[in-house]
Structure 1
Amino acid sequence: MTEPAEHRTQVAIVGAGPVGATVANYLGLYGVRTLLIDRSEEIVDYPRAAGMDDECLRSFQGIGLADEMLADMIQNVPLRMFAANGICLADIRPETKEYGWPRRNIFMQQLAERTLRVGLQRYPHVRPLLGHELIRVEQDGTEARLHVTDPQGERVLVHAEYVVAADGGRSTVREQLGIPLSGDTHPRKWVVIECDNDPLDAPYTGLHGDPKRPYVCLDLPYNYRRWEFMLFPGEDAEAMLRPEKVRELLTGHVPDPTALNIIRARVYTHHSRVADRFVDGRICLVGDAAHLMPPWAGQGMNTGIRDATNVAWKLAAVVTGRAHPRILATYDTERREHAKTMVKLSDALGRFLSPTSTTVARARDTLLRGLTVAPSVRDWVIQMRFKPVPRYSEGIMLHRHGTVRKSSPAGRMIIQPRVETAEGRVLPLDETLGEWFALIGYGTDPLVHLDAGSRAFWDRIGTRYITVVESRSGRSRTERRTSMTDSVTVEDVDGTLRDWFAQHQGSVAVVRPDRYLAALTDPRDLATVSDAFERLVAPSRSAEFKDAWRSVPVTEGEAS
Structure 2
Amino acid sequence: MTAALQALPGSASVPAPATDTVDVLVIGAGPVGATLANLLGTYGVRTLVLERNTEILDYPRAVGLDDEAMRTLQGAGVADSMLKDMMQNVPMRMYTASNQCFAEFLPATREFGWFRRNLFSQPLGERALRTGLQRFPHVELRSGVELTGLEQDAEGVTARVRDADGTERVVRASLLLGADGGRSTVREKLLQLPFPGATHARKWVVIECDNDPLDAPYTALHCDPVRPYVCLHLPYGIRRWEFMLFPGEDDVQMLHPDKVRELLSRQVPDPGALNVIRARVYTHHSRIASSFVVGRVCIAGDAAHLTPPWIGQGLNAGLRDACNLAWKAAWIVQGRLKPEALATYHDERHRHAKAMIELADLFGAVLSQTQPALAWLRDRTFMAIRNIPRLRDYVLQMKFKPMPRYTDGVVLDAERNDGVGRMFIQPTVDTADRSGIRLDDALGHGFTLLAWRHMPGLSAAALDGLDRLGCHRTVAAMARSGPSSGRRIDVPAGVALIEDTENALNLWFRAAGVDWVLIRPDRYIAAMGKRADADATLRRFVDRFVPAAPACAAKEAA
TM over 0.5: yes
Q: Report the equivalent of 2:530.
A: 522
Q: Is 2:317 aligned against 1:303?
A: yes
Q: Deviations over 1:34-73 (max 9, x none)?
A: 1100111211111100000000000011121111111111
1:6 counterpart residue number: 19
**C-alpha separation between the residues in 2 aligned to 1:492 and 1:186?**
49
Residue 5 to residue 333, structure 1, CA distance change in 2 (3 Å): closer
User: For 1:83-136, what per-residue CA distance to the aligned partner results, in whole angstroms no more than 9, with x for missing partners?
Assistant: 000000101111110000011011011111111101000111111121101111
- The corresponding residue for 2:169 is 156
Residues 34-45 of structure 1 mapped to structure 2, 5 A cutoff: 34-45=47-58
Equivalent residue, structure 2, for 1:479: 487
Contact 1:73 1:107 in 2 (8 A): yes
- State the match for 1:439 in structure 2: 449
Separation of aligned partners in 2, 1:36 and 1:268:
27
Deviations 1:356-410 (A, max 9, x none): 11111111001111223210111111111111111111111112xx6256xx111
Counterpart residue type for residue 149 of structure 1: R
Q: What amino acid is the match of 1:153?
A: G
Give matches, 1:390-429, under 5 Å: 390-399=404-413, 403=415, 408-423=418-433, 425-429=435-439
Partner of 1:549: none
Whole-angstrom CA distance in 1 between matches of 2:369 and 2:416:
39
Aligned to 2:13: none
Unaligned 5+ runs, structure 1 = 545-560
Deviations 1:253-309 (A, max 9, x none): 112100000011100000001100000001001000000010111110111011001
How far, CA to CA, are the matches of 2:435 and 2:425 in structure 1?
Answer: 19
Match of 1:468 among 447, 463, 476: 476
**Correspondence for 1:531:** 539
Report the counterpart of residue 64 of structure 2 in structure 1: 51
C-alpha root-mean-square deviation of aligned residues, in Å? 1.5
| Shift of residue 223, structure 1, vs aligned partner | 0.2
Further displaced range: 257-266 or 129-138: 129-138
Q: Structure 1 residue 74 and structure 2 residue 87: aligned?
A: yes
CA contact (8 A) 1:47 1:194 kept: yes
- After alignment, is 239-248 or 477-486 more displaced? 477-486
Q: Which residue identity lines up with residue 403 of structure 1 in the other structure?
A: E
- The TM-score with structure 2 as length reference comes to 0.94
Contact 1:4–1:155 (8 Å) recurs in 2: no
SS at structure 2 position matched to 1:98 = coil
State which drifts further: 525-534 or 290-299: 525-534
Structure 1 vs Structure 2: percent identity of aligned residues?
52
| Secondary structure of the corresponding residue to residue 524 of structure 1 | helix
Deviations 1:234-260 (A, max 9, x none): 111111000000000011111210000
Which of 181, 202, 205 is the aligned partner of 1:168?
181
For 1:84-99, list aligned pairs within 5 A. 84-99=97-112
Hey, what does 1:263 align to over in structure 2? 277
Q: Secondary structure, in 3 states, of the residue corresponding to 2:537?
A: helix
* Mapping for residues 118-517 of structure 1, pairs under 5 Å: 118-175=131-188, 176-399=190-413, 403=415, 408-423=418-433, 425-446=435-456, 449-517=457-525
**Amino acid in structure 2 at the alignment position of 1:45:** D
Structure 2: how far apart are the matches of 1:404 and 1:206? 42
TM-score (norm 1): 0.94
Give yes or no for contact 2:468–2:546 (8 Å, CA) kept in 1. no
1:117 alignment partner, one of 109, 115, 130: 130
The offset of 1:352, in angstroms, is 2.0
Poorly superposed stretches of 4+, deviation over 6 Å: none
Q: Return closer, same or farther for 1:93/1:388 CA change in 2, 3 Å cut-off.
A: same
What displacement does 1:540 show? 5.3
* 8 Å CA contact retained: 1:274, 1:292: yes
Q: Contact 1:321/1:540 (CA < 8 Å) preserved in 2? A: no
User: 1:539 & 1:49 partners in 2: Cα distance?
Assistant: 40
Residue pair 1:4, 1:156 contacting (<8 A) in 2 also = no
Deviation at 1:541, TM superposition (A): 4.7
Deviation at 1:469, TM superposition (A): 0.9
- Partner-residue secondary structure (3-state), 1:146: strand
Q: Which residue number in structure 2 is paired with residue 548 of structure 1?
A: none
Give me the whole-angstrom Cα distance separating, in 2, the residues matched to 1:484 and 1:310: 31
Shift in CA distance, 540/37, structure 1 to aligned 2, threshold 3 Å: farther
